[in-house]
Amino acid sequence: MAADPSSETPSGEKLYEGKAKIIYATDDPAVLLTYFKDDATAFNAQKRGQIVGKGQINCAISTHLFQRLGAAGVATHWLETTGDRTMLVKALQIIPLEVVVRNLTAGSLCKQTGLPLGQRLEPSLVEFYYKNDDLGDPLLTGDRIRAMGLASEEQIGTLRRLALNINQLLTDFFMDCGITLVDFKLEFGLDAQHQILLGDEISPDTCRLWDQSTDDEAQRVMDKDRFRQDLGQVEAAYQRVLERVLAQSPKN
Ligand code: TMP
Ligand code: ASP
């Protein structure tokens, strides 16, 4: 039987294991290997589970989106996808901020403000959360980011501009897939030249994606909210996102 590449354990030193990915060293200190797991968590890991096949799906979707963003001039950490769950990326000094862009109201925004679900936000919101599990990833202000020394005024401006540009590119792309990009989370880091690059992943774990073919509030959900809210059919929804994304790939 042919070897299943998904079962191969990367050979480099394990540097860090997160909730959804493992980071390994490679022979080149400027390059890391990211391994996408099936593990899923929500509510700061109070809810844990597995989404079978998620690692492969998120690796494939992220690969495709990083390639598209790269082709549109966005600097990302992606170098090469080497297996069905593994990609080589540039080593970055991660800025410990989760940059969230919101086009429609959902999730914690509705919970914290009382705004009803699904209202268009014009202009889109850019929010910064502190990437710190012990503190529960709190929402920050520009003043707090500066006071904490997480980013300079100029870097905050750059992150906002990059996030809004990425939002435009991803919104247009998902529109072509028949999917509404409701909101999403990005992470950025600095390379050796102190340039800000897009890092982490872009997948149904990190985006809210609504199927435009239905208005049904539960049926339209194609992202990790199916897991968070116990809506069922989680794997099938992730798979459908992948199929639609691949259908928009340039054919070689
Ligand atoms: P929120 O509405 O829960 O704040 O989430 C906003 C977006 O960020 C949503 O697309 C899901 C994504 N997200 C992550 O990728 N990781 C997280 O830890 C959280 C809380 C949200
Ligand atoms: N990834 C986050 C966690 O488990 C939360 C989420 O995506 O809802 O902590």
Say if residues 74 and 169 touch (Cβ distance below 8 Å).
Answer: yes
Contacts of the segment 192-195: beta carbons below 8 A, 24+ positions apart: 192/30, 195/75
Tell me which of 43, 69, 90 is where a domain ends: 90
Give the closest residue to 99 by CA, choosing from 204, 229, 224, 199: 199
Return the best residue to mutate from 21, 61, 100, 241 for the ligand 1 pocket (most ligand atoms within 8 A of CB).
100
What is the separation, in whole angstroms, between the first and last Cα of the chain?
29
Output the pLDDT for position 8.
66
Q: Are residues 108 and 210 in the same domain?
A: yes
Range of the domain at 186: 93-232
Let me know whether 99 and 179 are in one domain: yes
Reported as a single tens digit per residue, the pLDDT across 190-233 is: 999 999 999 999 999 999 999 999 999 999 999 999 999 999 99
Do residues 56 and 107 share a domain?
Answer: no
Which CATH number do you get for residue 16? 3.30.200.20
Spell out the residues 6+ positions from residue 37 whose beta carbon is closer than 8 angstroms to its own.
20, 21, 22, 54, 55, 85
- For residue 7, the model assigns a pLDDT of 53
DSSP the chain: ----GGGPPP-SPEEEE-SSEEEEE-SSTTEEEEEE-SEEEETTTTEEEE-TTHHHHHHHHHHHHHHHHHHTT--BSEEEE-SSSEEEEE--EE-SEEEEEEEE--HHHHHHH-PPTT-EEEEEEEEEEE--GGGT--B--HHHHHHTTSS-HHHHHHHHHHHHHHHHHHHHHHHHTTEEEEEEEE-EEE-TT--EEE-S--STTTEEEEETT---TTTTB-STHHHHTT-S-HHHHHHHHHHHHHHTSPP-
Q: What's the domain count of the chain?
A: 2
Cα 214 to Cα 24, 102, 210, distances in angstroms: 41, 21, 9
Residue 41 lies in a domain: yes
Q: Are residues 107 and 84 in the same domain?
A: no
Is any atom of ligand 1 closer than 6 Å to the C-beta of 61? no
In a domain, 252, yes or no: no
Atom of ligand 1 nearest to the CA of 107: 2
What's at 181, amino acid-wise?
L
**Top mutation candidate among 171, 180, 185 for ligand 1, by most atoms within 8 Å of CB:** 185
In this structure, what CATH number is given to the domain that contains residue 189? 3.30.470.20
CA 200 to ligand 1 centroid distance, Å: 13
Indicate whether 82 belongs to any domain: yes
Closest residue by Cα to atom 6, ligand 2, is 42
Task: Examine the fold and report which residue of 66, 90, 114 is the final residue of a domain before the chain moves on.
Answer: 90
Residue ending a domain, among 36, 70, 90, is 90
Distance 198 CA to ligand 2 centre (A): 19
Contact by Cβ (8 Å): 86, 33: yes
Are residues 107 and 75 both part of a single domain? no
pLDDT of residue 97: 98
Q: 107 CB under 6 A from ligand 1?
A: yes
Which ligand 2 atom lies nearest to the CA of residue 40? 4
Q: What residue type is assigned to position 6 of the chain? A: S
Residue carrying structure tokens 């170098």? 79
Instruction: Looking at the structure, tell me whether residues 77 and 171 fall in a common domain.
Output: no
Residue 159: inside a domain, yes or no? yes
Closest ligand 1 atom to Cα of 44: 18
Contact predicate 205/164, CB 8 Å: no
Q: What is the pLDDT of residues 181-195, one digit of tens each?
A: 999 999 999 999 999
pLDDT at 32 over 70: yes
Is 124 in the same domain as 198? yes
Same structural domain, 97 and 85? no
Burial class (CB in 10 A: 0-12, 13-18, 19+), 133: exposed
Q: Are residues 145 and 30 in the same domain?
A: no
The response to whether residue 227 sits with its C-beta less than 6 Å from ligand 1 reads no
Per-residue pLDDT reduced to its tens digit, 91-109: 999 999 999 999 999 999 9
Give the predicted TM-score (pTM) of the model: 0.96
> Is 242 contained in some domain?
no
What pLDDT does 1 receive? Answer: 34
Assign 179 a pLDDT band (cuts: 50, 70, 90).
very high
9/103 same-domain check: no
Shared domain for 122 and 193, answered yes or no, is yes
* Closest C-alpha residue for ligand 2 atom 8: 42
User: In ligand 2, which atom is closest to the CA atom of 46?
Assistant: 4
Nearest to 49 by CA among 227, 204, 207, 208: 227
In a domain, 101, yes or no: yes
Q: Is the peptide bond before 123 cis (omega within 30 degrees of 0)?
A: yes
The proportion of the chain whose per-residue pLDDT surpasses 90, expressed as a percent, equals 94
Cα of 3 vs centre of ligand 2, distance in Å, is 32
Amino acid identity for residue 25 in this structure: A
- Domain match, 185 and 69 both: no
In whole angstroms, give the CA distance from residue 132 to residue 140.
Answer: 12
Q: Is residue 245 part of a domain?
A: no
